[in-house]
Structure 1
Amino acid sequence: MSRFIWYDLLCSDLAGAKAFYSDLIGWKTEKFPGGDYELLKAGDRGVGGIMALPGEMKRASVPQHWMGYVYVDDVDATAQQAKKLGGKVMSPPSDIPTVGRYAVLADPQGAVFAIFKPQPREGEQPLAPRELLGNFSWAELNTTDWQSAWKFYSALFGWKAASSMNMGPELGEYFMFGTDPKQSMGGMSNAANMMKAPAHWMHYINVKSADETARRIKEKGGKVLNGPMDIPGGDRIAQCMDPQGGMFAIYSAGKRA
Structure 2
Amino acid sequence: MNNIAYFEIQASQPEVLVAFYQQVFDWSFSKDDSLPIPYWRIKTAGMYGGLLERPTDTPPLGCGTNAFTCSIEVADIDATAEVIVELGGQVALDKFEVPGVCWQAYYLDPDGNTFGLFQPQPHA
| TM-score normalised per structure 1 | 0.42
In structure 1, what is the equivalent of residue 19 of structure 2? 19
In structure 1, what is the equivalent of residue 5 of structure 2? 5
- What is the aligned residue count? 120
Q: Does 1:39 align with 2:41?
A: yes
1:1-257 to 2 correspondence within 5 Å? Answer: 1-32=1-32, 34-35=34-35, 36-43=38-45, 46-54=47-55, 57=56, 61-62=57-58, 197=64, 199-256=66-123
Aligned-partner SS, 1:240 = strand
List alignment gaps of at least 5 residues for structure 2.
none
Larger radius of gyration: 1
Q: CA deviation at 1:32?
A: 2.9
Task: Tell which deviates more after alignment, 20-29 or 208-217.
Answer: 208-217
In structure 2, what is the equivalent of residue 178 of structure 1? none
Between the aligned partners of 1:231 and 1:23, the Cα distance in structure 2 is 27
Distance 1:200 1:53, change over 3 A: closer
Identity fraction in percent: 26
Between the aligned partners of 1:23 and 1:198, the Cα distance in structure 2 is 24
Q: CA deviation at 1:198?
A: 5.8
Q: CA deviation at 1:199?
A: 4.8
Q: Does the 8 Å contact 1:214/1:228 carry over to 2?
A: no
RMSD: 2.2
Q: CA deviation at 1:46?
A: 4.6
Q: Does the 8 Å contact 1:40/1:49 carry over to 2?
A: yes
Q: CA deviation at 1:2?
A: 2.2
Between the aligned partners of 1:252 and 1:6, the Cα distance in structure 2 is 21
Aligned-partner SS, 2:69 = strand
